Amino acid sequence: MGFFSKKVKTDTIAESLLGFFDIGYGSLVLGFKDSFKDKKIVIDAEKDKELLVVPMFAIIRAVMSAFGDTPQGKNIIGKFQHDIFNKYFKDAEEKNQFGELFWKRCDEYSKILNPDNKDIAIQFGQIFCNHFFGKEEDGSNLDIMMFVGSSFLNLMVETKKFLDEILSKTEVT
């Protein structure tokens, strides 16, 4: 059944979230290649993984916020992760390595996500830059910090709005 029927399947939602992911990841990559080209940043395989984490984490947090600890939420996250892992990583070892990195970053990023924190964007960006550049951020990349942190927040908020809209109009099965 489609999105505007009375029921929607978790797989359909997860597949839609892949589009959100592609937009979030694509904007990060383009931002680095175009907006920050004067910094001559080379995106190698390890840095690309750091970029992949950002939209993936934003979408998973939105699903967790919208669905809570429900079977539907778990199904959406499971399918979404499975599809991302299969799209970007070919062998099991690569998938396992990225999975370890992803959950490690999730733990780290989650520490700053609370309603009272007014500096989430800059703090998220700072954590990202620490890992992306492989050194403690010294303030020389404030523009990148704000770009990445704001991109994360925007994607998370817009994904949550999308999911809330689905939940208000349909039964998720």
Handedness of CA 110, 112, 115, 119 (dihedral sign): negative
* Residue 162 resides in a domain: yes
Q: Taking 80 as the threshold, does the pLDDT of residue 142 lie above it?
A: yes
Q: Determine the structural domain holding residue 72 and report its residue range.
A: 8-172
Q: Per the domain annotation, does 116 fall within a domain?
A: yes
Alpha-carbon distance of 81 to 49, in angstroms, equals: 14
Question: pLDDT per residue over 5-62, tens digit each?
Answer: 689 999 999 999 999 999 999 999 998 888 777 888 888 999 999 999 999 999 999 9
Looking at the structure of the chain, the number of domains it has is: 1
* 71-130 confidence digits (pLDDT tens): 999 999 999 999 999 999 999 999 999 999 999 999 999 999 998 999 999 999 999 999
Inside any domain, residue 2? no
Q: Which of 56, 81, 60 is nearest to 69 (CA)?
A: 60
Average pLDDT over residues 133-144: 87
Q: What is the mean pLDDT of residues 125-140?
A: 90
pTM assigned to the model: 0.92
Tell me, yes or no, whether 3 lies in a domain.
no
Q: Is residue 151 part of a domain?
A: yes
Query: For the chain, how far is it from start to end, CA to CA, in angstroms?
Result: 11
Distance of CA 28 to the CA centre of its chain: 11
Q: What is the DSSP letter of 92?
A: H
**What pLDDT band is residue 1 in, cutting at 50, 70 and 90?**
very low
Q: Which of 78, 68, 97, 103 is nearest to 17 (CA)?
A: 78
Compute, in degrees rounded to 10, the torsion defined by CA atoms 108, 110, 116, 118.
60
Q: Could you give the C-alpha distances from 64 to 28, 146, 153, in angstroms and in order?
A: 23, 24, 15
Q: Characterise 68 by phi-psi region: left (phi > 0), alpha (psi -120 to 50), beta (else).
A: left
